[in-house]
Amino acid sequence: MPKVGTDLTTVRPGDGFHPSMIRRRGQRNVAAMNDSDVQYAPMTVADYEAVSALWRVTPGLGLGASDAREPIGRYLERNPGSSFVARIAGEVVGAVLCGHDGRRGYLHHLAVAVRCRGRGVGRQPA
């Protein structure tokens, strides 16, 4: 079986190649990591830049004025322990922004980096 990150011109039929084995320039080899490599933690305002960057590149996820750093910081203070980040090797690869109004719960944004999808990152309990 070819190693992850192998030059595709050297892969022959029957070598056990899977598309998840492709490593694009500048990306970590996430496909080769175990699910135990994913670390979950409550989201804090210190995570804002990395989470915001993930949200901005996630297709279909709309952002507004309430998604700026200060409003998100206030939201996290009002809803402690409701929002989470997922990290692999210290890099934020997933995030979910959740909270409640005292009666109803809300899931505002859920995003997983494209290269980490299909690995259960968004399904794991925090």
Q: Average model confidence (pLDDT) for the chain?
A: 80
pLDDT surpassing 60 at residue 77: yes
Q: Which SS3 state, helix, strand or coil, does residue 76 take?
A: helix
Are residues 87 and 27 part of one domain? no
Are residues 39 and 28 part of one domain?
Answer: no
Q: Are 15 and 64 in the same domain?
A: no
The answer to the question of residue 126 being in a domain is no
Are residue 26 and residue 39 in the same domain, yes or no?
Answer: no
Residues 51 and 101 in one domain: yes
Q: Does residue 40 share a domain with residue 28?
A: no
104: confidence class by pLDDT, cuts 50, 70, 90: very high
pTM of the model: 0.69
CA gap 108, 42 in Å, rounded: 15
Do 44 and 93 lie in one domain? The reply is yes
Structural domain for 89, as ranges: 34-116
pLDDT in tens, 20-59: 444 444 445 445 555 568 999 999 999 999 999 999 999 9
- Cα→Cα distances 44→68, 106, 108, Å: 14, 18, 16
Residue at 17 is within a domain: yes
Which range, of 28-32, 34-38, 91-95, 108-112, averages the lowest pLDDT?
Answer: 28-32
Indicate whether 125 belongs to any domain: no
The verdict on residue 123 lying in a domain is no
- Whether residue 122 is contained in a domain is answered as no
Closest CA to 98 of 72, 118, 119: 72
